């Protein structure tokens, strides 16, 4: 198994394969390091039980045809390559729940949740189906222009084909029919005349706007992978302002991979609610209906939405700054997203962790209990000695077997001949310690997967009472932040969150644990984690900027 495979796409030139074989033979790579590589691969093989239960490969990433070449680029072994095995199970219900609970209500002037509106009007191409179909753009990237339908997935090699895609308009039509509501729509993003007329008739106007991004090998309307700006696509700002100018109950839903600028329209008096729905997947329409009608409590923002692009403190790179790939030097250390805004005292439009609920909440009775976890000692040990230190193979014993058929573009470990480059003489050596078969010192902060086991000791228990003081049953996302106290530390960092369900009028206790790692800093001198003497404070609340309760950590 070689990752990456070829050095350039479909070249057949491998970084590893026979090059690794040569490196072991000439001493560049110790044989026991090769054993370690193989052990890590085979451990996963046994972990998932492939030694006991295996099925033939029945899926091809290069074609959707039932019949095709098993070896796609070599054009060999024509057979059934896609068995179309249905492995979805209950995925539809799960993705619908995830998409709904991941939707964030950013603004709500009381228009949500919806009841049974007399007449609904839906606007924007993001509300409807792509006329090319849900999978009509290769790898979901419409390189001939921006997506014409609703966006529910980014583009690139990590995508999958939609088994179906429920658009917001389809789901809203079904809901309107069930409720006896009238529903109209204008999904041409530039048909402002029709928008004006339709919006004036409705008592609830639902606007769907979008932007998208993906992997850089596909360019969509000049967006090569990442977005080239933070504005809405396909006339989104004008759609919102046109509808809001004619409808005093305009509700905006944004489908996007990340923040978008909202200042042109967010404070419009007729924009009564705004939702950020991300990229929700195949159940997009059903999930947004669940939130709009209050069937599911919405979630919280995993990033900050700024008032201005410049507030983020970074500039966009439009062209690579070197020959091969763009290079960005991150000089802000720990000050990323909300930590940057806190450090520079910048007021965001919507802070990290923000999200409105359909009920009201009260936080009280914050209690902190110190746990005696014992001392933290640096690890003082060595890795086990290598069991195999001798290379017994020779170049002639590692030639391709005489009866072996090589498939073009595959990466093989065998040698083509005994005169391959690098076989004669010694290979290029690495650091001397990399060749010590007696083992190596374990780093002071190491000792186990995830680092020193002592980092996971519980040092404090935090207990907070959260009450639902509204008239609806609801769910709240309780967030815990910690201030480390040093001058070069972020003002606060998120160290825990829990989503809880509380009936109207009820209360519950939420318990967090603070681990040693949660209040530790990296010390470059000792190469270990340390807890500084600076005073530390724990905060609990609803977002990074809404933290009503705090307590010192002794």
Map out the domains of the chain as residue ranges: 91-299, 361-377+451-553
CA torsion 184-190-193-194 (nearest 10°) is: -10
Element (H, E) at 275: strand 271-276
In contact, 247 and 200? CB cutoff 8 Å: yes
- Tell me how far apart the alpha carbons of residues 265 and 231 are, in angstroms, rounded to a whole number: 12
Quote the tokens at residue 183: 């529903």
- Token pair in block for residue 150: 């609703």
Q: Give, as one character, the DSSP assignment of residue 253.
A: E
Cα(447)–Cα(382) distance, integer angstroms: 9
Whether the Cβ atoms of residue 411 and residue 2 lie closer than 8 Å to each other: yes
Burial 28-61 (b: 16+ CB within 10 A, else e): bbbbbbbeeeeeeeeeeeeeeeeeeeeeeeeebe
Read off the tokens for 456.
Answer: 């996971």
Distance of CA 34 to the CA centre of its chain: 33
Fold of 361-377+451-553: Immunoglobulin-like (2.60.40)
Could you write out the DSSP letters of every residue in 15-70? SSTHHHHHHHHTTSS-HHHHHHHHHHHHHHHHHTTTTT--------SS--SSEEEE
Helix (H) or strand (E) holding 521: strand 521-523
What single DSSP character describes residue 126? G
What is the pLDDT at residue 324? 64
Find tokens 């106007």 and name the residue. Answer: 205
pLDDT at 330: 81
Residue 6 vs residue 230, higher pLDDT: 230
Q: What is the pLDDT of residue 56?
A: 85
Confidence of residue 421 (pLDDT cuts 50, 70, 90): confident
Question: pLDDT digits over 167-195, tens only?
Answer: 999 999 999 999 999 999 999 999 999 99
What is the enclosing helix (H) or strand (E) of 201?
helix 192-201
The predicted structure's pLDDT at residue 306: 98
User: 204 and 142 in contact (C-beta within 8 Å)?
Assistant: no
Model pLDDT, residue 39: 94
Fold entry, domain 91-299: Rossmann fold (3.40.50)
Is the per-residue pLDDT at 323 higher than 70? no
pLDDT, one tens digit per residue, over 52-109 is 998 888 999 889 999 999 999 999 999 999 999 999 999 999 999 999 999 999 999 9
Residue 244's pLDDT is 98
pLDDT of residue 353: 98
Whether residue 329 has pLDDT greater than 90: no
The answer to whether 400 and 417 are in contact (CB under 8 A) is: no
What tokens appear for 61 in the block?
């990433």
Lowest mean pLDDT among 7-11, 395-399, 411-415, 538-542: 7-11
Which residue has tokens 């977002």? 543
Average pLDDT over residues 329-356: 95
Give pTM, 2 decimals.
Answer: 0.93
| Residue 126, pLDDT above cutoff 90 | yes
The yes-or-no verdict on residue 326 having pLDDT over 90 is no
What pLDDT score was predicted for residue 425? 67
Q: Average pLDDT, stretch 34-48?
A: 94
> Which residue would you say has higher pLDDT here, 399 or 323?
399
How much is the pLDDT for 315?
Answer: 80
Q: What is the mean pLDDT of the chain?
A: 94
What are the DSSP calls for 350-386, one per residue? Answer: B-TT----SS-EEEEEEEEEE-----------BPPPP
The per-residue pLDDT for 216 is 87
Specify the range with the lowest mean pLDDT, choosing from 387-391, 427-431, 540-544, 546-550: 427-431
């Amino acid at each position: 198994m070689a990752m990456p495979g070829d050095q350039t796409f479909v070249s057949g030139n491998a970084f590893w394969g026979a090059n690794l074989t040569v490196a072991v033979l000439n001493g560049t790579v110790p044989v026991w390091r090769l054993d370690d590589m193989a052990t890590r691969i085979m451990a996963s093989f046994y972990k998932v039980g492939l030694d006991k239960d295996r099925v033939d490969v029945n899926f091809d990433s290069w074609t959707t045809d039932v019949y095709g070449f098993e070896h796609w680029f070599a054009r060999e072994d024509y057979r059934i390559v896609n068995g179309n095995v249905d492995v979805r199970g209950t995925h539809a219900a799960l993705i619908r729940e995830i998409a709904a609970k991941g939707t964030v209500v950013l603004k709500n002037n009381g228009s949500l949740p919806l009841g049974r509106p007399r007449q609904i009007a839906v606007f924007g191409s993001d509300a409807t189906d792509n006329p090319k179909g849900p999978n009509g753009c290769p790898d979901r990237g419409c390189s001939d222009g921006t997506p014409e339908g609703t966006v529910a997935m980014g583009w690139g090699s990590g995508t999958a084909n939609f088994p179906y895609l429920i658009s917001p308009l389809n789901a809203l039509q079904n809901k309107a029919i069930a409720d006896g509501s009238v529903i109209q729509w204008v999904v041409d993003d530039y048909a402002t005349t029709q928008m004006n007329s339709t919006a004036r008739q409705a008592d609830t106007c639902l606007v769907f706007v979008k932007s998208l991004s993906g992997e850089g090998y596909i360019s969509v309307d000049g967006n090569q992978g990442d977005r080239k700006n933070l504005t809405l696509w396909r006339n989104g700002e004008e759609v919102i302002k046109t509808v809001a100018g004619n409808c005093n109950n305009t509700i905006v839903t944004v489908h996007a991979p990340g923040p978008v600028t909202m200042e042109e329209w967010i404070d419009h008096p007729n924009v009564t609610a705004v939702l950020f729905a991300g990229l929700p997947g195949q159940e997009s329409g059903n999930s947004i209906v669940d939130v709009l009608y209050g069937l599911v409590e919405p979630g919280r923002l995993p990033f900050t939405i700024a008032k201005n692009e410049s507030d983020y403190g970074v500039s966009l790179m439009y062209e690579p700054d070197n020959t091969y790939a763009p290079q960005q030097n991150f000089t802000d250390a720990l000050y990323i997203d909300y930590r940057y805004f806190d450090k520079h005292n910048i007021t965001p439009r919507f802070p990290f962790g923000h999200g409105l609920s359909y009920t009201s909440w009260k936080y009280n009775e914050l209690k902190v209990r110190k746990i005696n976890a014992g001392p933290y000692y640096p690890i003082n040990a060595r890795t086990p000695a290598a069991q195999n230190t001798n290379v017994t193979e020779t170049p002639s014993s590692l030639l391709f077997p005489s009866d072996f058929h090589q498939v073009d573009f595959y990466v093989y470990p065998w040698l083509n001949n005994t005169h391959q480059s690098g076989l004669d003489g010694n290979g290029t050596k690495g650091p001397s310690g990399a060749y010590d078969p007696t083992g190596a010192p374990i780093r002071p902060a190491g000792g186990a997967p995830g680092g020193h086991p002592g980092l996971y000791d519980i040092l404090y228990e935090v207990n907070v009472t959260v009450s639902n003081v509204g008239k609806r049953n609801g769910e709240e996302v309780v967030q815990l932040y910690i201030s480390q106290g040093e001058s070069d530390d972020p003002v606060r960092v998120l160290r825990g969150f829990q989503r809880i369900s509380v009936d109207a009028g009820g209360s519950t206790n939420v318990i967090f644990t603070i681990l040693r790692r949660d209040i530790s800093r990296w010390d470059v001198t000792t190469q270990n984690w340390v807890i500084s003497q600076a005073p530390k404070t724990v905060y609990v609340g609803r977002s990074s900027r809404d933290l009503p309760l705090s307590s010192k950590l002794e």
